[in-house]
Amino acid sequence: MLDDARTVGVTGFLLPAVKLDDSELLLDLCRRHADVWCALGVHPHAASTWKDGDTLRLRSLLDEPGVVAVGECGLDFFYDHSPRETQLRVMLEQWDLAWESGLPVIVHNRDSNSEMLAATRRPENRVLKGVFHSFAGGLEMATELLGRGFYLGLSGMVTFPKADNVREVLPTLPQERLLLETDTPYLAPVPHRGEKNQPAFVVETAQRIAAEWELSLGQLSEITTANFFRLFERART
């Protein structure tokens, strides 16, 4: 999959963890591929796996080469695979670690807009940096998050015929706050709907956004590459 993506011009890959036990696998991929970086953390689906000592464990892992962010962390009140209060507590603990480490967060948010915005409004989180990945929160939420300095990651959803809630943010989304992503293996863009998503398909997502912004694919690629390295500063080293 990495080679297929490189063939079509994808030049870097950021792989987020789902749980802490993913860490060694992701770190090994980073060691073997110079264009692969990782984020380490616990997804809200796996928040119930967070146990005593994991704060210290994650803090030590964040110093490993190749780690450029904390995540994927956040809230998911659609599936509720972990209790909501557990999701919130584990997310906030990871946000605190990210702030201490000077790292951005990769945030998952589904059916939890009110609770998520309340968390970002906490005084101690005003300097938190990161990206709300596979964003589908609508224009009002996008406006507030952008005002707080966050980036928005747009996935293959932007190509879906009925995804107006994603495309409506494009006219007001500053170019310097856009990131492209796949959400592999989910959300394959048109014309790959129904297939397992993969990094090479991010090109279709980029093409759609470039068309909406009346840019060439090359221009959009330059913008999103610059944005990536601005947010994920450790990837430069």
> pLDDT tens across 180-236, in order?
999 999 999 999 999 999 999 999 999 999 999 999 999 999 999 999 999 999 998
The residue ranges of every structural domain in the chain are 2-236
**3-state secondary structure (DSSP) of residue 156:** helix
Q: How far is CA 3 from CA 12, 107, 153, in A?
A: 11, 27, 23
pLDDT the model gives residue 160: 97
Strands (E), 43-150: 67-76, 105-110, 130-132
Q: For domain 2-236, is the CATH number 3.30.2010.20?
A: no
Encoded tokens for 77: 């009140």
Q: Read off the pLDDT band of 124 (50, 70, 90).
A: confident
Q: Read off the pLDDT band of 237 (50, 70, 90).
A: confident
CB 88 within 8 A of CB 42: no
Other Cβ atoms within 10 Å of 48 Cβ, number = 15
Other Cβ atoms within 10 Å of 121 Cβ, number = 11
pLDDT the model gives residue 65: 96
Encoded tokens for 99: 């702030």
pLDDT surpassing 90 at residue 125 = no
The average pLDDT across 49-53 equals 95
Per residue in 133-177, pLDDT (tens digit) is: 999 999 999 999 999 999 999 999 999 999 999 999 999 999 999
pLDDT the model gives residue 213: 97
Per residue in 53-94, pLDDT (tens digit) is: 999 999 999 999 999 999 999 999 999 999 999 999 999 999
